[in-house]
Amino acid sequence: MQLKIPGTVPNNYMLRLSKSVTDILTLAKRKATHQTATITVMLSSGVDSVAIAHFVAKNKHQLSNILGIPTTSLVVQAFHFNHKLRDQNDLMEESAVAFCNDFNIPLTLKQSSGILVSEAHARNARMTALTESIKDSITLTAHHLNDCVESYLLNTLRGHEGYLPIPFFTKLQNCVMSHPFIFNTKNDFIEYCKHFNLNKYIVEDETNKTTKGSRRNLIRNEILPILHRENIVLNKTISNKMSTRLQELMNEEG
């Protein structure tokens, strides 16, 4: 069945197959153990992942060209993990199912089988389920520039200010995880979902507003707003750092 992805993106729209997106996907392809014909989107039901899942499905032809495979051979699918921590997790799963049903995107669903006691524990459970379920795929996350700024500040607080905030790709056991939209901002995803009327599929994690026990949320909700009020904006600084590193990687790969 053909994907039915309505609408077109304005020429000046920020969420597009830019050079950085193409370069990051090219690097991920080169790191794959086998020639892959599958792109898997990590779909949480947050605005970021809903935006890229829609975007990837809509741009299947262009993505197949980047990967060097026929469009008819490329499989675009999604992966959702239900952490089973709160009632909201079931709502997020329902939203993921509805989104994938409406846009004819194959979906792999996994749920936690144990009690997750920390953010790190939850991530490990999610990644374990991913590596056990998804094979020979380039797996995309919706990490973006705002995440990179937060990670940079976290690293700075830990005394590691020279670290690259988030890698462009990570080689896993059975797939390569890639973050091709890492130069986009959170607002790009928000505006994209508004443009394509995708808000009905969005369920934002309610814990993102909780600062107690989360340094990242403290930075996101309290420290960054103060910096912005003082006109201390780190987006350009971090973007320049990442651009330099991306060019170095592309040069190394020849």
User: Total structural domains in the chain?
Assistant: 1
CA distance 232 to 224: 9
Q: At what angle do helices 47-58 and 186-195 cross, to 10 degrees?
A: 60
Q: Is the pLDDT of residue 8 over 60?
A: no
Domain-located, residue 8: no
Q: What is the pLDDT of residues 83-118, one digit of tens each?
A: 888 788 899 999 999 999 999 999 999 988 766 556
CA distance 16 to 21: 8
State the pLDDT at residue 11. 43
Domain-located, residue 1: no
What range does the domain containing 153 cover?
19-253
State the pLDDT at residue 12. 46
Q: What is the pLDDT of residues 145-173, one digit of tens each?
A: 999 998 888 888 888 766 667 899 998 88
Q: What is the pLDDT of residues 190-248, one digit of tens each?
A: 999 999 999 999 998 767 676 666 777 788 888 888 888 888 888 998 999 899 999 99
Q: Is the pLDDT of residue 119 over 60?
A: yes
Domain-located, residue 33: yes
State the pLDDT at residue 116. 57
The domain that holds 94 is classified in CATH as 3.40.50.620
Looking at per-residue pLDDT, the higher value among 133 and 100 belongs to: 100
CB 25 within 8 A of CB 62: no
Mean pLDDT of 20-44: 90
13 band by pLDDT with thresholds 50, 70 and 90: low
Domain-located, residue 175: yes
State the pLDDT at residue 196. 94
- For the chain, give the mean pLDDT: 86
Domain-located, residue 51: yes
Domain-located, residue 58: yes
State the pLDDT at residue 92. 94
Domain-located, residue 2: no
Q: Is the pLDDT of residue 7 over 60?
A: no
Mean pLDDT of 11-16: 64
Give the closest residue to 185 by CA, choosing from 235, 151, 231. Answer: 235
Q: What is the pTM of this model?
A: 0.88
15 band by pLDDT with thresholds 50, 70 and 90: confident
CA distance 8 to 165: 33
Domain-located, residue 9: no
Q: What is the 3-state secondary structure (H, E, C) of the chain?
A: CCCCCCCCCCCCCCCCCCHHHHHHHHHHHHHCCCCCCEEEEECCCCHHHHHHHHHHHHCHHHHHHHHCCCHHHCEEEEEEEECCCCHHHHHHHHHHHHHHHHCCCCEEEEECCCCCCCHHHHHHHHHHHHHHHCCCEEEECCCCHHHHHHHHHHHHHCCCCCCCCCCCEEECCCEEEECCCCCCCHHHHHHHHHHCCCHHHCCCCHHHHCCCCCHHHHHHHHHHHHHHHCCCCCHHHHHHHHHHHHHHHHHHHC
